[in-house]
Structure 1
Amino acid sequence: MGTSVDAPAVVAEEVTDNMLGGKKVTVVFVLGGPGSGKGTQCTNIVEHFGFTHLSAGDLLRAEIKSGSENGTMIETMIKEGKIVPSEVTIKLLQEAMIKSENDKFLIDGFPRNEENRSAFENVTKISPAFVLFFDCTEEEMEKRLLGRNQGRVDDNIETIRKRFKVFVESSLPVIEYYSSKDKVKKIDAAKPIPEVFEDVTAIFAPYAPKV
């Protein structure tokens, strides 16, 4: 008799396991400095391994564009040079994961710092399967960013160095935290794109769609 009484409690526990209405997901954080080539590789991972790519920056921009109250608040904060609170970005990521029919996600550009990371795990109760870290020298990233002909106004040497410094100061503690949990898969991102993708493929092989 005891088991039938306990059963509902177990079910309830599973449902509240994470904040996605009980949806079981695989999350991979993608981190790398500006110009490390992570965008290109995310596209490849989506195409070959069936992940859904969620970019924190894109979600914030889409929210601003939607004209919602939340979007207006985000826009004001960005204009004033303030950092958008972790909770706001996490809520957008959470909603995107719930809406998606997929259960495998690449989260790109987040967590940007240690506070983001702890807030994400505390709020969603989700811990990443691993962190994919595109490791690239500052010289190489600089060369790539300056060689981009995308007309990005912010791609001058000074700005690039600032962006790099911010990345090192805020993201490296996140990488160190996950390294201590043996969850970082580091890729030499200075290699040519096809070679980088070979390394990515080796890491993602267990997640390949079943044919």
Structure 2
Amino acid sequence: MGSTVDAARMEQNGSMTEKKPTVVFVLGGPGSGKGTQCANVVQHFGYTHLSAGDLLRAEIKSGSENGTMIQNMIKEGKIVPSEVTIKLLQKAMLESGNDKFLIDGFPRNEENRAAFEVVTKIEPEFVLFFDCSEEEMERRLLSRNQGREDDNVETIRKRFKVFMESSLPVVEYYNSKGKVRKVIFA
């Protein structure tokens, strides 16, 4: 059985049993460097990087009913319902064969945070918070040219606004528990 999440069982309510995996939430505004720095942590520390955004985009590509709903919400710069994202994260964790995870771009709001902890029974070891100016994040996003539908000025600015209003309270919650490790980019 070992200590991998792969050996964990899903209960009917979807929570993970046996050894709890180590989870680190990686938060920061769009273009703050989360994905880039996660690659470094994966290489040096053996974590599995799970990007909530990548999982959502893969679901969109699948053509499922959930994928269509996700696509519409992303176009509008809105946050996808917690249950959808948590289900995708749990599936990826179980399939990974690892028990150490960097979860990038999630939780996006207090409801996501509370739902993740209730459904999975997992609280993060800590939160890596990438603090970067809005101007720098916009510059990075517009210059990265990844062909993403949501990399245009209007959607980028909506994403900044959503981050400031919805995600910063999550960072503040974990900061009050002494769990935030801030990475500042000038």
TM-score by length of 1: 0.73
**Residues 30, 137 of structure 2: 8 Å contact kept:** yes
- Partner of 2:124, secondary structure, is coil
Alignment counterpart, residue 138 of structure 2, candidates 134, 139, 142: 142
Alignment counterpart, residue 175 of structure 1, candidates 168, 171, 174: 171
Alignment counterpart, residue 38 of structure 1, candidates 34, 41, 61: 34
Q: Which letter does structure 2 place at the counterpart of 1:174?
A: V
- Partner of 2:32, secondary structure, is coil
Q: Which letter does structure 2 place at the counterpart of 1:75?
A: T
Change (3 A) 1:86 1:132: same
- Partner of 1:166, secondary structure, is helix
**Map of 1:98-109 to 2, 5 A cutoff?**
98-109=94-105
For 2:28 and 2:132, how far apart are their aligned partners in 1?
8
Matched, 1:84 2:77: no
Structure 1: runs of 5 or more not aligned: 1-14, 191-211
Question: Larger Rg: 1 or 2?
Answer: 1
Percentage of matched positions with identical amino acids: 74
Q: Which has the higher helix share?
A: 1
Change (3 A) 1:129 1:156: same
**Residues 51, 102 of structure 1: 8 Å contact kept:** yes
Q: Which letter does structure 2 place at the counterpart of 1:72?
A: E
- Partner of 2:182, secondary structure, is strand
Q: Which letter does structure 1 place at the counterpart of 2:117?
A: E
For 2:180 and 2:16, how far apart are their aligned partners in 1?
24
For 1:155 and 1:109, how far apart are their aligned partners in 2?
16
For 1:117 and 1:148, how far apart are their aligned partners in 2?
29
For 1:79 and 1:151, how far apart are their aligned partners in 2?
17
CA RMSD of aligned residues (A): 2.3
Alignment deviations for residues 141-166 of structure 1 (CA, whole Å, 9 cap, x no partner): 12222333445564444433222111
Q: Which letter does structure 2 place at the counterpart of 1:134?
A: F
Q: Which region of structure 1 is more displaced relative to structure 2, 95-104 or 141-150? A: 141-150
Alignment counterpart, residue 129 of structure 1, candidates 116, 122, 125: 125
TM-score by length of 2: 0.82
Matched, 1:49 2:45: yes
**Residues 56, 67 of structure 2: 8 Å contact kept:** yes
For 1:158 and 1:61, how far apart are their aligned partners in 2?
19
For 1:78 and 1:164, how far apart are their aligned partners in 2?
18
For 2:67 and 2:149, how far apart are their aligned partners in 1?
22
Matched, 1:21 2:17: yes
For 2:102 and 2:22, how far apart are their aligned partners in 1?
9
